[in-house]
Structure 1
Amino acid sequence: MRKMTVMIMSTFLLAVAGPAFPAEMTKGQKDECLLASKNCASQVDSIQKKIKKLNAEIKKGDKVYSPEELKKLETKLTEANDLLDTMLGLKGGN
């Protein structure tokens, strides 16, 4: 009886905990993730991949983004490039 109870509880917990993150991000969530680094829990990218994505989004230009959004994307790109340079030892106090 005890084993059956543990199995049922385990199955229930797995079923509830399984869909913690959505499989696909909505356009709004993607934009928010790119522009404000919010709602990015399901996406873990390397710095190089983030730089590539930011460049691709910036290339879309004003057809997709407002001037303010483009400025934010460019700022994020600069920050990511600076971080990469620092990690590679190309920048910093060394």
Structure 2
Amino acid sequence: MKKAALVVMAAFVMTNSSLTFAMEDMKKNECLTISKNCKDEVDSIQQKITKLNAEIKKGTKVYTPEELKALHQKLKDINAALQSLNKPGK
């Protein structure tokens, strides 16, 4: 009886945690899209590029076409800034 209860509890915990991860994948990053909920986020350029690429990969399942366009533009701007920083001095 205890084993059956333990199996049921383990299955419930695993299902609940997998649902949480799935919901997290479908969640918009408001800091990247509308600069909301960013109070403790300080990212390097590389980290921001990684986050933008991850959000863009979510595609239209999470973002509207307009939001995706804005994310692509932010990625383009950050890549341009990185390229500018990597240019040798004159």
What range describes the TM-score normalised by the shorter chain of this pair? 0.5 to 0.7
For normalisation by structure 1, the TM-score amounts to 0.59
What is the alpha-carbon distance in structure 2 between the residues aligned to residue 47 and residue 39 of structure 1?
A: 19
Please list every run of 5 or more consecutive structure 2 residues that lacks an aligned counterpart in the other structure: 1-26
For normalisation by structure 2, the TM-score amounts to 0.62
- 1:35, CA displacement in angstroms? 1.3
- Cα RMSD for the two superposed structures: 2.1
Please list every run of 5 or more consecutive structure 1 residues that lacks an aligned counterpart in the other structure: 1-26
Which structure would you say has the larger RCO, counting Cα contacts within 8 Å and 6 or more residues apart?
2
Aligned length: 64
Q: Percent identity of the aligned residues?
A: 58
Q: Once superposed, which parts of structure 1, at least 4 consecutive aligned residues long, lie more than 4 Å away? A: none
| Aligned residue type for 2:33 | L
| Residues 61/42 of structure 1: CA separation in 2 closer, same or farther (3 Å cut) | same
